[in-house]
Amino acid sequence: MELLKERIRMDGRVKEGNILKVDSFLNHQIDISLLNEIGREFKHLFDGKKITKIVTIEASGIAIACLTAQYFNVPVVFAKKAVSKNIDGDVYTSTIKSYTHGNEYTAMLEKRFLTQNDQVLILDDFLATGKAQLGLLDITKQAGATVAGIGIVIEKGFQGGGDKLRAAGYDLRSLAIIDSMENGTLCFRK
């Protein structure tokens, strides 16, 4: 998606440890017009697929999932990261190791919001090693739901998670795939 790549080139900042910061438009401050175009692009890429629910994980996945869901006319369910009084006992859980935060957390999703009748589109802002996506796939599998596709805004191709998911047979579409970011220079996959 050219509009997105241009924006990453213009406003993205490469930090130590292969961290790409896009917090001026994607995951801290949010450019709603851009996210609407992202939603439209996901609709285009997954058009014709039967999708009953969009699944993501808090926090930055929520914005992408909600704006995209408008094009699919389906509800969003987001997995939660922390134990709270507001989570019932009857939940699917999966343990996820975070590359960004350097810790481990449990993703939780209430059982009544995902069933074997669901055809799921998994959406997220970033895919690197694929740990968060594997957690969501795990939860989807526990629910007996079908994975219709995985949509990612920015894939760090050089970290390999995306290609592993493709090799495993998932219909994974990333709007921008970064194959290297050495010395702060971003190279996008063709």
Question: Which residues from 18-47 bind its own copies, rule CB under 8 A?
Answer: 19, 21, 23-24, 27-33, 35-36
CB atoms within 10 A of CB 170: 18
Is 190 a residue that touches its own copies (CB under 8 A)? no
- Strands 13-15 and 19-21, by their bridges, are antiparallel
Q: Is 78 in the site for its own copies (CB under 8 A)?
A: yes
Query: Given the complex with its own copies, which of 8 and 67 has the nearer CB atom?
Result: 67
Q: Is 132 in the site for its own copies (CB under 8 A)?
A: no
- Which of 38, 77, 137, 177 lies at the binding interface for its own copies (CB under 8 A)? 77
User: What does each C-alpha distance from 158 to 1, 169, 179 come to in angstroms?
Assistant: 19, 19, 5
CA distance 178 to 188: 4
Taking the least distance from each CB to its own copies, the nearer of 87 and 164 is 87
169/150 Cα distance (integer angstroms): 11
Q: Determine which residue in the list 50, 90, 101, 116 makes contact with its own copies, applying CB under 8 A.
A: 101
Q: Is 185 in the site for its own copies (CB under 8 A)?
A: no
Tell me: does residue 84 bind its own copies (CB under 8 A).
Answer: yes
Beta-ladder partners of 152:
124, 174
- Which residues, in sequence order, are CB contacts of 52 under 8 Å at separation 6+? 74, 117, 118, 119, 120
- Is residue 70 a contact point for its own copies (CB under 8 A)? yes
Contact yes or no for 149/49 (Cβ under 8 A): yes
Least distance to its own copies, CB of residue 33, Å:
8
Nearest-angstrom CA–CA distance, 82 and 4: 31
Instruction: Choose one: 81-89, 135-143, 145-153, 160-168; the region binding its own copies (CB under 8 A).
Output: 81-89
Q: Is residue 104 near its own copies by the rule CB under 8 A?
A: no
Element (H, E) at 92: strand 91-97
Helix (H) or strand (E) holding 77: strand 76-79
Binding site for its own copies (CB under 8 A): 17, 19, 21, 23-24, 27-33, 35-36, 58-60, 62-63, 65-67, 69-70, 73-78, 80-82, 84-86, 100-102, 109-110, 112-113
